[in-house]
Structure 1
Amino acid sequence: MMKKLVLILFVFGSASAFGQAEKKISDTIFMIHDAPIISSKSRPLYIIDERLSKVQPQFKPADICDVKVLKPFDAFKLYGKDANDGAIILITKKFAIKRYQEKFSGLSIEYKSCLNSQKNNDDNFLYVVNGAPIQGESKIKELYNLEVEKIKELKFLKGEPSINGVIQLIIIVTNN
């Protein structure tokens, strides 16, 4: 009998707790230890092609080379109070290509000259980094992420005409 009474009290107590006014997630503020306050009204700082922006960007996924999301604490350390709500760092493919071409042009006059003659189109360039060809979807990101300080040597080898045009070979050796 006592067990039944305890069970009935538990059920009624639980039901009354659930009967309180509903709270929407959108009105909720979450606090995680000593982290800054995050709410559904948070607005992250956007860094688009190395430029700060508070406006959410509009890009096609195919145009994006890289995305990094920084949590509020890490973003605040890097960008100050504008990044209290975190940061989203976007690098577009167009920007990444321009940056790595500038880096490599500074390392090789032959590369720069050939790139200029191709109107900055390096589709017929084969990049080889530390003996491995860089091709496919990862090509742009990998070349963009190469640090100039770590490039020990950049060799430009002028190619021969082929069915696909003239293939230029760029050999890059880095300090591991």
Structure 2
Amino acid sequence: MNFKTGKNKEWGVWNNLNDYFKEKRIDQLHKATLSISNQTFAIKKMCVFILTATLGIMQNFRKENNCSDYSGIILCGTIIMLFYLADSVAYYYQSKLRNLMRKIELEIKENNNAYCKDCGQCRENIKLGSKVFPKIVLLKKSAVNGSHFFYVVLFLICIVFFYLLPF
């Protein structure tokens, strides 16, 4: 290996050792992002499992006591809210890792002068640095996104279960 020219078969297409390590870092971040993605799916499955058990217990309790109070809907809403918060935190860190991967990718493009020829958007994104994906945007995206519609549907199912179905 020649450190002055950066020629090495293991480095692949990268011009220097720094870019090679950045590529490895992107690979590690990608694996961590996939792991978090799998965990968010597990969070949703666990939420459904716990809600099913809770609805069964609450239905049995309603039959025995011949009552319909708001405790069941409050309990289900609390369970859904806790899982929603856990899912939002996981989504936030997933977005943050993707943001970091994007910044490293832009640094590699800057080092190798690999820009889009049609537009200067890559250069503008590099100049913006951390402002490409501001923290407030990540927080908003993690709080409200398409996958969280699942929790709204679960809450509606709980309402239907408790108030529209006879006990």
Per the normalisation by structure 2, the TM-score is: 0.20
Larger gyration radius, structure 1 or structure 2: 1
Higher RCO (Cα < 8 Å, 6 or more apart): 2
TM-score w.r.t. the length of structure 1 is 0.19
Higher fraction of strand: 1
